[in-house]
Structure 1
Amino acid sequence: MYPTAAKLIAAILFGALSWWLSDLVRPFLPQEGSLEWLAPVNAVIGMVMGWRVLGSRAGRGYGAAIGYGWTALAVTLFWVLLVWSGREMLERSMRLYYDGPMDAIEQMIALFVEYGAHAANTSTAVSALFGAGFCGLVTEFAARNAA
């Protein structure tokens, strides 16, 4: 729970990685919604996951650090997709698009999968994996060398 240099570094790096990946994914997303908040919201989610997932596990070795970076990436991706599919579901609900709450939840899950499919391309996936591994290594370095 207490702040460390590794948590701060992980939060900053994962926030920046999330922002960068958001810009890479933007052309593949449907342009029907407002995408102006995509990168800032994803960066905040990335910062929180960097702090909580990657930063809290720093100091266990460089090999583990890459794995923790990938874990933080997976958790960040989950929350990003959940937030944006939930936002779209709420927006549609306000326009009375759904027949009931279960229909809204089912469609939110479908949006979750659809957004994930839009984001799943080779260049983005490779960039995300290398970026998350790099974030893990730098966080591990910060944990070992913090005074």
Structure 2
Amino acid sequence: MPTAARFVAALCLAVLAWVVSEQIKPLFDEDKAFGNFNLINFVIAVAVGWQVIGSRAGRGLSAAINNGLTGGIVLVFWCLLAHSAIRMFEISMRGRYGGAFEAFSAIFEMMVENRILIATPLIIGALVIGSVASGVIAEMTNKRAS
């Protein structure tokens, strides 16, 4: 059921994903083509904000903080998984993997590599503050709309 809290949570997390995506780009090699990097993260963030944060709004401030942090962690997981799967598909189209299991396990190897790369204080801080703010704003919206 669409609610104002779900909409606001999706919007807040999507803005956070876009900002963090821009912060992540300088961490990669200069010749990396990002393509739809921001857009993919934006769409994932809308879905996570709607489902994880927005659906749990209305349970109080401490729950809102926890919901926001949970949303941020889920966002990072799904974005890492999506981009690693896309990269694995690109590599597999060049015939670089020996089989399906090797290609599948490469997704998780790339997730770990990228997680280590983006684990900087600036990115972690932005994700924590932004996701907590998303949870609290969704909670405030739920109280206003009720």
Identify the TM-score tier after normalising by the shorter chain.
over 0.9
Alignment root-mean-square deviation, CA = 1.1
Aligned residues: 146
Residue type of the alignment partner of 2:133? F
Unaligned stretches of 5+ residues in structure 1: none
Residues 1:48 and 1:139: Cα distance change in structure 2 (over 3 Å): same
Bigger shift: residues 12-21 or 102-111: 102-111
Residue type of the alignment partner of 1:38? F
Q: Which residue is 1:42 aligned to? A: 41
Over 3 Å off, 4+ runs: 30-33
Distance in 1 (alpha carbons) for counterparts of 2:86 and 2:50: 24
Unaligned stretches of 5+ residues in structure 2: none
Q: Deviations over 1:20-42 (max 9, x none)?
A: 01011111124454213111110
Residues 1:133 and 1:59: Cα distance change in structure 2 (over 3 Å): same
What is the CA distance between 1:116 and its match in structure 2? 0.9
Tell me the TM-score normalized by structure 2: 0.96
Q: Which residue is 2:14 aligned to? A: 15
Distance in 1 (alpha carbons) for counterparts of 2:29 and 2:56: 36
Residue type of the alignment partner of 1:77? V
CA contact (8 A) 1:29 1:115 kept: no
Q: Which residue is 1:67 aligned to? A: 66
